[in-house]
Structure 1
Amino acid sequence: MSEYIISTNYIELKNNNKIIVIGQPISNEIKIQNLIFKGKNNILIIDSNAVFFSTNIVFNGSNSTAFINSTSNNRMNLNLSLYNNSTYYQGKNNYFNGRFNCIVSESKNVIIGDNGIFSFNIWVRTSDAHLIYNLEDKKRLNHAKDVILGSHVWIGQNVTILKGAFIGSGSVIGLNSVVSKKINSNTLNLGNHIKELKENIFWDNTSTHDFLETDIEIYNYYKDNSSEIEYDFSTIPDTTNQWMDLSKKLSASTSEEKYSILKQLDILPFTIKKSKKKRRFRFF
């Protein structure tokens, strides 16, 4: 393992692998503790203000793209593996408290919105890594799926997020939970198998560790100068088609095309809400 130092905004490596730095011109060197390109035609895009420590980024295949924005707490302990034709997108101003592990494989995508909080030892995977078949017709049962995490999500310690997880914006996933399904926006969820404990919630990133009795009383009700709650996603217009189209475009694109799509991406709030009339999920 050797540290990789980035001191310019564009680096072209062998086998047409590339590193692109976006944002302001680099004022300080960007250090990634372990960066490996095993395949060809891969692109790593990072924000010029990104700060990494104990980070591993490995491109195990070809034609994949990782787009990493800077974090709100100026630190990123990332363990990221990408295989063939896969995409990892990390939105803006997320807060990472500890190690974030992610394996993107089987030509799928992981997309993370903005302004989230991620605790210690979180795992995200798009695939089971091995094959499971039906005995009767020999058809595969465990196909890989994309993972989408909305904006302003709070993911607790030791949470595992598996293929097919769509976590709506504004939601909370509690300690030790396992997620492999759609999670409604503005809900509190916990468990393995995960269950919705409370709907119509919102959360604030103020840390309560140092609270005294006076602070507990002050924060018993939410107080904000604005008349609207910033993280209420229930009125967001329908973005279903945009998200599905984005996923399809990324999977059908070269790494250069993926980069072109992602650099123009104004991340859409990914929200999920139950339809009371038909008892089914809708995407907004």
Structure 2
Amino acid sequence: MTSEVQSITKYDDAAKIQNNVVHLRPSQGSIFRDSSIHFHGTGNVLYVEDGAKLRNCRLRFMGDNAVIHIRKSARFTEVISSVFHDSIFYLGEDASFTSPARLVPSERENIIIGRDAMISSRVASRTADPHLVYSTATHKRINPSRSVWVGDHCWIGEEVLLLKGARIGSGSILGARALVTRQVPSNSSAAGVPAKVVGNDVFWLRPSVHAYTKAQTEKSLEFAGDNFVFTADDSTLNIDALELAISSATTGLEREEWCRTLDSAMGKNRFFMGISG
């Protein structure tokens, strides 16, 4: 990691970054407002899709050969993230944020968020504890870091904390202040500390009911479509295989290519997750 810090606070700064790969440019619909990006290393890759709207973002590469890959959305992206050596922060398309999420992928693990995520206020995630814990009997480390996966169309409630090893299946809901450390199946709701599944076979829609009239409430009592009901099919990805594939990458460019394989996996059920064993 180099001691020289390179920074981006406006689009024009992107062209000045050296020894890192940057795709951040003004384009139709794009915004880069009250945001900054800092490089504390080399070999990193920043990809911000054309048309993305970044607001109140603070992105930091805290080492070498890491990746931040952000897809565009009609809504604002608001993220505070420190990405360490050989790690990835991946954000799928059409995400929304109530306030900046705080995300820290480290120790060569990753935070992966699928498309159409709805992320509420003060959400945080990290892949490490981050300090070392050992067994008194064996003196072996017992707290390895692990990646965090969030599927498509997930609703992450206020002050949710996603810790290492959390895997959230597509279509699921995490209640306010849930602390998640394990797998939540698709089309489930989970809540509590630690989070437990409290509802199965549910799905959710984006419209907010706060200002609903009586007529709107009555109309909302039933929704006939299966748009957000997820099942296993031929498009479902094997997350363990994906993690094995990315573990063999040695450069930021190889990790960015892996991110593009996620971009190209368009199947509705790509991040379906069942009940873990």
- The TM-score normalised by the length of structure 1 is 0.87
Which whole-Å deviations, capped at 9, do the CAs of 1:61-117 have from their partners, x for residues lacking one? 1110110012231x1221010010001110011111211110010000111111121
Match of 1:133 in 2: 134
Match of 2:61 in 1: 59
> Structure 2: how far apart are the matches of 1:102 and 1:29?
21
State the Cα distance separating 1:209 from its structure 2 match. 1.2
Matched letter for residue 49 of structure 1: G
Match of 1:248 in 2: 244
> Structure 2: how far apart are the matches of 1:248 and 1:211?
47
> Structure 1: how far apart are the matches of 2:205 and 2:119?
14
Match of 2:4 in 1: none
Residues 11 and 18 of structure 1 are in contact (CA less than 8 Å); yes or no, is this contact kept in structure 2? Answer: no
Runs of 4+ residues deviating >4 angstroms: 24-29
Greater Cα offset, 187-196 or 244-253: 244-253
Residues 98 and 119 of structure 1 are in contact (CA less than 8 Å); yes or no, is this contact kept in structure 2? Answer: yes
Residues 12 and 18 of structure 1 are in contact (CA less than 8 Å); yes or no, is this contact kept in structure 2? Answer: no
Matches within 5 A, 1:125-274: 125-224=126-225, 229-237=226-234, 239-241=236-238, 243-253=239-249, 254-265=251-262, 266-267=264-265, 269-274=270-275
Structure 1 residues 38 and 13: CA distance shift in structure 2, 3 A: same
- Structure 1 unpaired stretches of 5+: 275-279
- Which residue of 8, 11, 16 maps to 1:6? 11
Residues 6 and 29 of structure 1 are in contact (CA less than 8 Å); yes or no, is this contact kept in structure 2? Answer: no
> Structure 2: how far apart are the matches of 1:245 and 1:234?
19
> Structure 2: how far apart are the matches of 1:255 and 1:3?
19
Q: Name the SS of the counterpart of 2:22 in structure 1.
A: strand
State the Cα distance separating 1:239 from its structure 2 match. 3.3
Residues 4 and 33 of structure 1 are in contact (CA less than 8 Å); yes or no, is this contact kept in structure 2? Answer: yes
Matches within 5 A, 1:6-155: 6-7=11-12, 11=15, 13-14=17-18, 16-21=19-24, 25=27, 30-31=32-33, 33-73=35-75, 75-155=76-156
Which whole-Å deviations, capped at 9, do the CAs of 1:23-66 have from their partners, x for residues lacking one? x9567674562211001111100012112222100001111011
Query: How many residues matched?
Result: 267
Q: Name the SS of the counterpart of 2:274 in structure 1.
A: strand
Greater Cα offset, 258-267 or 114-123: 258-267
Matched letter for residue 199 of structure 1: N
Residues 30 and 53 of structure 2 are in contact (CA less than 8 Å); yes or no, is this contact kept in structure 1? Answer: no
Match of 1:277 in 2: none
> Structure 2: how far apart are the matches of 1:272 and 1:175?
21
Which whole-Å deviations, capped at 9, do the CAs of 1:109-152 have from their partners, x for residues lacking one? 11111112110100010001100000010011110001110001
State the Cα distance separating 1:245 from its structure 2 match. 2.6
Residues 7 and 30 of structure 1 are in contact (CA less than 8 Å); yes or no, is this contact kept in structure 2? Answer: no
Matched letter for residue 37 of structure 1: F
Greater Cα offset, 215-224 or 117-126: 215-224
Greater Cα offset, 34-43 or 246-255: 246-255
> Structure 2: how far apart are the matches of 1:174 and 1:215?
24
> Structure 1: how far apart are the matches of 2:105 and 2:159?
19
- The TM-score normalised by the length of structure 2 is 0.89
Q: Name the SS of the counterpart of 1:259 in structure 2.
A: helix
- Structure 2 unpaired stretches of 5+: 1-6
